[in-house]
Amino acid sequence: MAGEVPTDSAEYYAKFFNEMKDSEGNVRPAYKQLAKFLDGLSLESLATKQEAADALFRRLGITFAVYTEGGSTERLIPFDLIPRILHHSEWDLVERGCLQRVKAINMFLYDIYHNQEILKAELVPAELVFKNPAFGPRSVLIFRRVYAHVAGVDLVRTGERDFFVLEDNVRTPSGVSYLLENREIMMRLFPDAFNGQAVSPVGNYPERLLENLRAVAPGGAEDPVVVLLTPGRYNSAYFEHVFLAEQMGIDLVEGVDLFVRDGYVWMRTTEGPVRVDVIYRRLDDDFMDPLAFYPGSLLAVPGLLSVIRAGHVALANALGTGVADDKAMYTYVPRMIEFYLGEHAILNNVQTYMLRDPKQCQHVLQNIENLVVKEVQGSGGYGMLIGPASTKAEQEAYKARVLQDPANFIAQPTLTLSTSPTLCNGNIEPRHVDLRPFVLSGNETSVIPGGLTRVALREKSLVVNSSQGGGTKDTWVLERGAC
Amino acid sequence: MLSRTAEDLYWMARNMERAENTARMLEVSFRLALLPTSLGREEQFEPILTIAPGDDDFHERYDALTHENLVRYVALDPENNGSIYSLIRNARENARARRASISSEAWETLNATWLQMQSFDYDEVERWGFRDFFDWVKERSHLFRGVVFGTMLHDDGFRFLRLGTFIERADNTARILDVKYHVLLPDTEKVGGYVDYYQWAALLRSVGAYRAYRRIYHDTIYPWRVAELLILREDMPRSLHHCYAIVLSTLDELSKEKPLECRRLAGQTHAQLCYGQIQAVFREGLHEYLTRFIEDNHALGSQIQEDFLMTPMVMAEAV
């Protein structure tokens, strides 16, 4: 099937958990069917399919915007044809773990905006909450105490049953549109690959999301008006905003389309103002209301905050969820799970050094070449240092940044991310992958089976972010009894 | 529907229609340039710049009015906002902003058109043949309208698309007809002579009305009949009358019984086209008549903007 892989590369990748094959080179049960299917294909025909996939993505306009000088350009996220497969027993662990985390996080958010029991119990340092820039105005009338209606949990795998959470994204996580489109493209290009195995369908995500959004409408409106609020076409996730609005059949609005009058939010339509009940917002807190936050923001809706406070419009995700998803609060999630649910965390946290602590800071500075150092509020793989992959000079420069404001940084050991077979340079080679399952909360909490698998296409790279040249794969969950 | 959605749909259709008609105008100029007249070939191109505004801009950026420069500027120049390139880009941007409100087929059609448009440069178009390029633009526009008609819900969004198409087409037909006014007959030629005949024939062909003329009139090509066909015949799909019949009925559906000013304006122009006579048009002067029509049509466009596609400022005062 595959051609020769360079020896040093093969040696490097041999150290990591391989999703498809065990250490003896035997194909794992979940991959048996796929391996058989791939064996029947030549590398040439895979290359042809790859071209077809790229053309399809381009024609369908599945792109993300990249800010460049003088505007923005659209790029394709590289798509890899070889799916990543999870056996139902593996998925079961991931699913239960994600549900548990998001439940605890929602309870935590409700708690800190109400009784603050966890702070009184001194399980989470109060200043981490009160000094957090995302600690916002208290929202009222939160339906079923849900703050994070949509969450994306970033996971990496290091062994058979070893999944580690890298971060919990509970503000406005992106990527679900790629998850759904990847499946569409796979079913279009490789219908035969699905034969003989039960791959869990993912297509009803928009429907479930809409159901949850309708459920949180204030005053139990019978036919609530739900809109999706986007920062606009220059946002990197604009494709996703359009995609979800289209799939849910709701209006895609920008700040200028909305206004506040008589204590309610309205949108401007060709037939006059129409009242809005629920806003699925893909805009950060700070840009929501220029009267309350950034005064000059053109993305915002003046007076929106007062309507939220009056309980006349529901926001998903609620304002102020960001408190729970920064990289410092992350270390306390296992405690939240114990405190609120009385359970042990199913998914592991990565050992994390808090540089706000002078001792830990010193340890990190001394061992920086073995660690990954990140900004607490950073995202997209920007502003981080990967110790083992950096030069002495880069390490020194980074140390200087850390010393200016240690509290703004955390550090973690470099993880041995698992690898997945990936079409690279005309060969099938192992590449590092992560996984972002999406958790929906509303009437019920559920996880879409699979998630977005991101893959580091560059050889030996551990960075999977699309802004750093990462790609994506379709992610299959095999249903019970399938293998 | 959301005002800004309506606005993007309206302009999406206007942009595509204008791209098509710009190709038609280029085509009529190229045909006229093939005629043996004592007029310099280059001068035949001047009207294109007059009617598709951009005269000053062109002369600032290009040294001479040649075949090649005209195609570069009117078809391919990204810095000319009225070029076919820019119009297709704008239509696709409108579509991208409103993907959730149009059918996926409509989006894919525009996206594919834009992807292909980007691959053209002058050499490519020349190799291909100019006529083939103009045909391509027309086909992409036909395809767009067909896809809209065949796949989109016939709701208000669809109506705003139709409105954009026919407001733009009315403007463009009037401008194409006016080309003949700008392309003066050389002094050595007489009105009704063969040069005059070929000029009118070229014009008819450019709007796909040559066969229709023959079918209806069974006669040689006379200017007043060409004008009658393109102004007053309701069954001629690019005529002013036809465009206004659709504009008016679409506005009726959109206004939902409200006495909107745009409806009144459209009704007034429609009545003139319904009951007008071609003799009266020529008494006024064809050029004068068309100029007045273009102004009225423009005023209607602005009124539609005000009545439906309210900007936030206007809206803030209204509520």
| pLDDT (0 to 100) of residue B55 | 62
Instruction: Determine the Cα–Cα distance for residues A275 and B313; give it in Å rounded to an integer.
Output: 19
Q: How far is B301 from chain A (nearest CA, A)?
A: 15
Report A:267-286 residues touching B (Cβ under 8 A). 267-271, 273
Interchain contact A71–B (C-beta under 8 A): no
CB B132 within 8 A of CB B86: no
Contacts of B257 in chain A (CB under 8 A): none
Q: In chain B, whose CA is at the least distance from the CA of A269? A: B2
Contacts 24+ apart (CB under 8 A), A40-46: A41/A1, A43/A1, A43/A2, A43/A3, A43/A426, A43/A427, A43/A428, A46/A81, A46/A423, A46/A428
Instruction: Determine the Cα–Cα distance for residues A330 and A128; give it in Å rounded to an integer.
Output: 11
- Pull the structure tokens for residue A413: 């050991």
Residue A14 has pLDDT above 60, yes or no: yes
- Residue A292 has φ and ψ, to the nearest 5°, of -105, -30
Nearest to B6 among A252, A253, A270 (CB): A270
| pLDDT (0 to 100) of residue A379 | 61
What residues contact residue B109 under an 8 Å CB cut-off, 6+ apart? B140, B143, B144, B147
| pLDDT (0 to 100) of residue B318 | 40
Q: Are A269 and B3 an interchain contact pair (Cβ–Cβ within 8 Å)?
A: yes
Evaluate whether residue B13 is within a structural domain: yes
Evaluate whether residue B32 is within a structural domain: yes
Q: Are B319 and A261 an interchain contact pair (Cβ–Cβ within 8 Å)?
A: yes
**Which residues of chain B are under the pLDDT cut of 50?**
38, 312-319
Q: Is B157 helix (H, G, I), strand (E, B) or coil?
A: helix
Contacts of A246 in chain B (CB under 8 A): 99-100, 104
Interchain contact A59–B (C-beta under 8 A): yes
Q: Are B1 and A270 an interchain contact pair (Cβ–Cβ within 8 Å)?
A: yes
Nearest to A257 among B4, B107, B112 (CB): B4
- pLDDT tens figures, B181-219: 776 556 566 666 777 788 888 889 888 899 999 999 988
Contacts of A250 in chain B (CB under 8 A): 100
Contacts of A233 in chain B (CB under 8 A): 93, 96-97
| pLDDT (0 to 100) of residue A1 | 40
* Count of Cβ atoms closer than 10 Å to residue A245 Cβ: 25
What DSSP element (H or E) covers B255? helix B240-255
Q: In chain B, whose CA is at the least distance from the CA of A248? A: B100
- Pull the structure tokens for residue A47: 């290359």
CATH number of A352-413: 3.40.50.970, 3.30.1490.270, 1.10.260.40, 3.30.420.40? 3.30.1490.270
CB B228 within 8 A of CB B234: no
Instruction: Determine the Cα–Cα distance for residues A361 and A375; give it in Å rounded to an integer.
Output: 13
String of b and e for A98-120 (b: at least 16 CB within 10 Å)? bbbbbbbbbbbbbbbbeeeebbe
CB A203 within 8 A of CB A474: no
Mean pLDDT of A355-361: 90
Q: Are B108 and A59 an interchain contact pair (Cβ–Cβ within 8 Å)?
A: yes
Q: Are A259 and B308 an interchain contact pair (Cβ–Cβ within 8 Å)?
A: no
Number of domains in chain B: 1
Evaluate whether residue B319 is within a structural domain: no
Q: In chain A, whose CA is at the least distance from the CA of B255? A: A271
Evaluate whether residue B33 is within a structural domain: yes
Q: In chain A, whose CA is at the least distance from the CA of B92? A: A61
What residues contact residue B25 under an 8 Å CB cut-off, 6+ apart? B48, B51, B52, B172, B175, B176, B179, B206
Instruction: Determine the Cα–Cα distance for residues A267 and A409; give it in Å rounded to an integer.
Output: 41
Interchain contact A261–B (C-beta under 8 A): yes
- pLDDT tens figures, A67-114: 655 555 778 889 999 999 999 999 999 999 999 999 999 999 999 998
Instruction: Determine the Cα–Cα distance for residues A410 and B116; give it in Å rounded to an integer.
Output: 48
Query: What is the 3-state secondary structure of chain A?
Result: CCCCCCHHHHHHHCCCCECCECCCCCECHHHHHHHHHHHCCCHHHHHHHHHHHHHHHHHHCCEEEEEECCEEEEEECCEEEEEEEECHHHHHHHHHHHHHHHHHHHHHHHHHCCCCHHHHCCCCCHHHHHCCCCCCCCCCCCHHHCCCCEEEEEEEEEECCEEEEEEEECCCCCCHHHHHHHHHHHHHHCHHHHCCCCECCCCCHHHHHHHHHHHCCHHHCCCCCEEEECCCCCCCCHHHHHHHHHHHCCEEECHHHEEEECCEEEEEECCEEEEECEEEECCCHHHCCCCCCCCCCCCCCCCHHHHHHCCCCEEECCCCHHHHHCCCHHHHHHHHHHHHHCCCCCCEECCCEECCCHHHHHHHHHCHHHEEEEECCCCCCCCCEEHHHCCHHHHHHHHHHHHHCHHHEEEEECCCCCEEEEEECCEEEEEEEEEECEEEECCCEEECCCCEEEEECCCCCCCCCHHHCEEEEEEEEECCCCC
Report A:185-244 residues touching B (Cβ under 8 A). 233, 242-243
Percentage of residues of chain A with pLDDT beyond 70: 93
Contacts of A253 in chain B (CB under 8 A): 2
Percentage of residues of chain A with pLDDT beyond 90: 60
Evaluate whether residue B316 is within a structural domain: no
Residue A2 has pLDDT above 50, yes or no: no
| pLDDT (0 to 100) of residue B308 | 86
Instruction: Determine the Cα–Cα distance for residues A404 and A306; give it in Å rounded to an integer.
Output: 38
Longest CA pairwise span in chain A (Å): 70
Complex ipTM? 0.75
* Count of Cβ atoms closer than 10 Å to residue A226 Cβ: 24
Q: Are B254 and A270 an interchain contact pair (Cβ–Cβ within 8 Å)?
A: yes
Cα A133 → chain centroid: 21
Nearest to B100 among A252, A266, A267 (CB): A252
Q: Are A242 and B99 an interchain contact pair (Cβ–Cβ within 8 Å)?
A: yes
Evaluate whether residue B73 is within a structural domain: yes
In 3D, which of A145, A89, A168 has the Cα closest to residue A334?
A168
Contacts of B2 in chain A (CB under 8 A): 251, 253, 257, 267-270
pLDDT band at A16 (very low <50, low <70, confident <90, very high): very high
Residue A4 has pLDDT above 70, yes or no: no
- Residue A142 has φ and ψ, to the nearest 5°, of -80, 115
Contacts of B309 in chain A (CB under 8 A): 270
**Cis amide linkage into residue A317, ω under 30° from 0:** yes
| pLDDT (0 to 100) of residue A348 | 94
Nearest to A269 among B1, B112, B312 (CB): B1
Nearest to B315 among A243, A253, A268 (CB): A268
Q: Are B99 and A267 an interchain contact pair (Cβ–Cβ within 8 Å)?
A: no
Q: Are A268 and B1 an interchain contact pair (Cβ–Cβ within 8 Å)?
A: no
Instruction: Determine the Cα–Cα distance for residues A317 and B85; give it in Å rounded to an integer.
Output: 41
Q: In chain B, whose CA is at the least distance from the CA of A227? A: B2
- pLDDT tens figures, A283-326: 988 788 877 777 777 778 889 988 988 889 999 999 889 899 88
Q: Are A270 and B319 an interchain contact pair (Cβ–Cβ within 8 Å)?
A: no
Residue with token string 């049953």: A161
Q: How far is A327 from chain B (nearest CA, A)?
A: 34
Full domain range(s) for residue B136: 3-311
Of A57-66, A152-161, B153-162, B207-216, minimum mean pLDDT range: A57-66
Nearest to A253 among B2, B256, B312 (CB): B2
| pLDDT (0 to 100) of residue B319 | 37
In 3D, which of A19, A18, A1 has the Cα closest to residue A478?
A19
In 3D, which of B118, B195, B177, B140 has the Cα closest to residue A74?
B118
Question: pLDDT: is A149 or B60 the higher one?
Answer: A149
CB A387 within 8 A of CB A372: yes
Contacts of B312 in chain A (CB under 8 A): 256, 259, 268
Size of interface A-B (CB pairs under 8 A): 68
Interchain contact A257–B (C-beta under 8 A): yes
Radius of gyration over alpha carbons of chain B, in Å? 20
Mean pLDDT of A202-218: 93
pLDDT band at A5 (very low <50, low <70, confident <90, very high): low
Nearest to A270 among B111, B115, B156 (CB): B156
Evaluate whether residue B94 is within a structural domain: yes
pLDDT band at A263 (very low <50, low <70, confident <90, very high): very high
Q: Are A270 and B115 an interchain contact pair (Cβ–Cβ within 8 Å)?
A: no
Evaluate whether residue B317 is within a structural domain: no
Nearest to A246 among B5, B100, B156 (CB): B100
Nearest to B107 among A61, A270, A271 (CB): A61
| pLDDT (0 to 100) of residue A131 | 86
Q: How far is B318 from chain A (nearest CA, A)?
A: 9
Q: Are B6 and A256 an interchain contact pair (Cβ–Cβ within 8 Å)?
A: no
Q: Are B319 and A254 an interchain contact pair (Cβ–Cβ within 8 Å)?
A: no
Interchain contact A392–B (C-beta under 8 A): no
All structural domains of chain A with their residue ranges: 16-347+415-477, 352-413
Nearest to A61 among B96, B156, B316 (CB): B96
Contacts of B160 in chain A (CB under 8 A): 270
Interchain contact A251–B (C-beta under 8 A): yes
Q: Are A259 and B97 an interchain contact pair (Cβ–Cβ within 8 Å)?
A: no
Q: Are A268 and B2 an interchain contact pair (Cβ–Cβ within 8 Å)?
A: yes
Nearest to B100 among A233, A245, A266 (CB): A245
